[in-house]
Amino acid sequence: MDDDQRDIELSSLEAIYPELQRVDPNDPYTIFLEVPVNPANGVIVTFPNPTTDGAVPADGAVANGAGVRADHHGGADGGLAINPDHNPNNGPDSHRLSHLPPVRLEIGLGSGYPEEKPPSVSVSTNPPWLPDTVVRRLEEDGPRLWEEIGRDMVAYTYIDHVQQAAEDLFGLVDEKEGLEVDTQHKIAVLDYDIKAKKAAFDRETFSCGVCLDPKKGSVCHRMVDCGHVFCIDCLQDFYNNAIKEGDLAAVRCLAPGCAKEREKAAATEKKGKKVRTFISPSELLQIPLEPEVVQRYVTLKYKTELESDKNTIYCPRSWCNGAARSKKHKKPEGFELGEASDEDEGSEVEEDEAGSSGKMKPFKPEKELLAICEDCGFAFCSRCLQSWHGEFVRCSAPRKKDELTEEDIASLEYVKLHTTPCPTCAAPVQKTHGCNHMLCYRCQSHFCYLCSAWLHPDNPYQHFNIQPDGKRNSCYMRLWELEEGDGDDVGLGFAGGRGGGAPAGGAPIPVEHVVPEIEEPEDEDEAHEHARDDRQRDNHNAHGADNRQVGVAREGPLVLRIAGNPPPGAGRGGPRAAGVPPRAPVPPARGGHNQQHPLVGLAGHARAGRGAGGAPARRGGVRGAAQNAGANNRGAGRGGAQQRNGRMAAQGVQLFGPMLEMMRADALPDRLDAPQEAWVRQFVQLALEDREDLLAEMEQDPGFR
């Protein structure tokens, strides 16, 4: 009887393969069986790179994650290298797997089997990773075997045949060195491998090296990096304790010498590449440790890393002091430890070496300057520790905290108020007593204490007298002013040659006041009268100067370019001193240099409308009036406010405020103060001698006293 034969075969098959099942409970003769595919030595499965950048890369990312999990649970094949060497982006994505999804055999023993009909066989895998050719071949094997054994009961023979074929992966590996599987099945295939490994691992028994008890794999953990197995209880106890005590170095494999040996091996094998000997936070979570503990581990690890790096910049906010973001040490997000640090290590070291060999590190603004606090988000400059000012602001490192005390500030204020800078070296000089002819203690320049004008060493007193051309400057007859000295302790407070516009303070005079067309009646005639003469004389004198002092003549062109901008301070001073309408005296060409010019008095003289005529001439006259007024007041009491202002007005005109315009084309000169003026003067002087680089050295000179 046909049926009997099939029943006999099926019952023996069920005895051999207890996992045998029926496809349909109502059809006892169609059975299916899953044949496991566990190649003894594993197989390298390659997933070809997707040709399009569609959703597949995301797929791949997930699968990579799965691959990592595969490692964590170890394999049943104990000792097998289970680290997939997956390089997601370049080259084929390959993994060594030891479990592939099983082959499902569906065998139908129809009526007429075995005598007349072969069994109907269908082979499939889920997902369909098995190539169609193999599937077809296997399916054809059923009828073929049935024929071979003489049309008899072939089911067992066939199943056994497929099982044996599965052992060597149906011959696939021999052909290609590896198995190529469509990338769309990647996740499923990898996932199956993971689960199979985990199941196999769970069934195994291990002897925990810590508690020395034999433990089932299901309560054990295989270390990701080295493969040692410990029981979860011991790992939890040990790591919880270590992290609680902050003993981060202990958070490694518990096998004796394990981490060290791997370090050594890595060092000899491949220089420069560090082997990870600590345990990743994700592995700790898998053991599992409490998330809080792992978080503490991550935080402590990051903190240690930052603290051991001398380049770490901390937030300048005193209430924060968080570390600034850096490429080298990424702040951990959640449980992820930034691992970029390992990669950057090498280049960072090289940089350090370069930095120590040269005196200065190469300036890399984008890298070094902008720092953003990781904790409070404060963006600041890593050099000056002020809030971020952009890449192009020149700043300097802050002085050490206590360096500039209140005392220092007061001292600087005092210096500003009670000294006059040397026109050559800018050394602040305080007059304690005596006349206004000063000799710089540092560079031996002769200069006027009142206006900081450079004086000719041959006859420095000329400055305070009627000039050779018969003019008088603003310091005329003031040689003995402030005879008792300058400063709180020595008498009058005189802002010295720093006067300029600064002490006048207040808002700049509106333009309409500064450049009025109204003229002082007194001066008008005189101005007109002298305008032409003056110009001629000017020219003449300039030539004379050429003969006597080459330097002055060479300065000329420099000043010419900047003659257009009058310092408002001058205009301001005028009315206060003399009650005349404010003017904006445009310093004529050489106004700025008359101190060095033998004919110093020229520009400041009341009747010396020196311009080329017209408005400049008139303005010059006005300025002269202001000065005259100041001079007239002199008798009333020297050092008086009005008088000083008047004098300053004159200074503003005479001095070098306008010259700064060369450097700061649009800036208003009312910001000028004496040091700046002196600086310009000094710069010009040095520039003429081709020694302007000395200036930087002088500026660094702590010559301030």
Partner 1 sequence: MASIKRIQKELAECTTSSPAGISVTLPDDSDLHRWHVTLQGPSNTPYAGGAFGLVVSLPPDYPFKPPTVTFATRIYHPNVTNDSQGNICLGVLKHENWKPSTKLVGVLEAVRGLLAEPNPDDPLEARIADEYRQDRAGWEKTAKQYVARYAKGEITWPEKEEGKKA
Note the residues at the interface with partner 1 (CB under 8 A).
Answer: 209-213, 230, 233-234, 237-238, 241-242, 249, 253-258
Tell me whether residue 253 or residue 279 sits nearer to partner 1 (CB atom).
Answer: 253
Phi, psi of 486 (to 5 degrees): -120, 130
Query: Tokens 């002196």 — which residue?
Result: 678
Which residue, 242 or 694, has its beta carbon nearer to partner 1? Answer: 242
3-state DSSP assignment of residue 652 = helix
Nearer to partner 1, 233 or 483 (CB): 233
Residue 268 Cβ vs partner 1, minimum distance, rounded to whole Å? 20
What is the closest distance, in whole angstroms, from the C-beta atom of residue 411 to partner 1 in the complex? 55
Which residues have CB under 8 Å from 594's CB, separation 6+?
453, 473, 600, 601, 602, 603, 604, 654
Of 210 and 662, CB closest to partner 1: 210
Nearer residue to partner 1 within complex by CB, 68 or 234: 234
Min separation Cβ 209 and partner 1, Å: 3
Say how far apart CA 262 and CA 332 lie, in whole Å.
26
Closest distance to partner 1 from the beta carbon of 198 (Å): 23
Q: CB of 100: closest distance to partner 1 in angstroms?
A: 34
Complex with partner 1: residue 16 or 249, whichever CB lies closer: 249
Of 258 and 687, the one with the shorter C-beta distance to partner 1 is 258
Contacts of residue 102, defined as CB under 8 A and 6 or more positions apart, other chains included, come to: 34, 35, 36, 37, 125
Question: For partner 1, which is the closer residue by CB, 58 or 212?
Answer: 212
Taking the complex as a whole, the smallest distance from the CB of residue 245 to partner 1 amounts, in Å, to 10
CA atoms lying within 13 Å on the CB side of residue 702: 0
Cβ 88 to partner 1 shortest distance, Å: 34
Q: How many residues does the chain have?
A: 705
* Contact residues for 244 (Cβ-Cβ < 8 A; gap 6+): 293, 296
Closer to partner 1 by CB, 122 or 240: give it.
240
Given the structure tokens 């802002």, which residue do they identify? 495
Closest contact distance (angstroms) between CB of 291 and partner 1 is 22
Nearer to partner 1, 153 or 259 (CB): 259
Q: How far is the CB of 308 from partner 1 (least distance, A)?
A: 17
Dist. CA 301–CA 338, nearest whole Å: 10
Q: What is the signed CA dihedral for 581, 584, 588, 592, rounded to 10 degrees?
A: 110
Task: Round to whole Å and give the CA distance between 292 and 303.
Answer: 16
Measure the CA dihedral 84/90/92/97, to 10°.
10
**Range 197-217 burial, b when 16+ CB lie within 10 A, else e:** bbebbeebebebeeeeeebeb
What lies within 8 Å, CB to CB, of 683 at 6+ separation is 692, 695
**What is the phi/psi pair of residue 256, to 5°?**
-60, 130
CA dihedral sign, ordered 521, 523, 524, 526: positive
C-beta of 288 vs 703, nearer to partner 1: 288
CB of 229 to partner 1, least distance (A): 11
Residue 588 and residue 620 in contact, taking contact as beta carbons nearer than 8 Å: yes
Structure-token pair, residue 285: 């979570």
Nearest to residue 479, comparing CAs of 433, 439, 438, 437? 437
Q: Which residue has the tokens 């108020």?
A: 417
Do residues 475 and 436 touch, judged by C-beta distance below 8 A? yes
Least CB distance to partner 1 at residue 255 (A): 5
What is the C-alpha to C-alpha distance for residues 283 and 609, in angstroms, rounded to an integer?
90
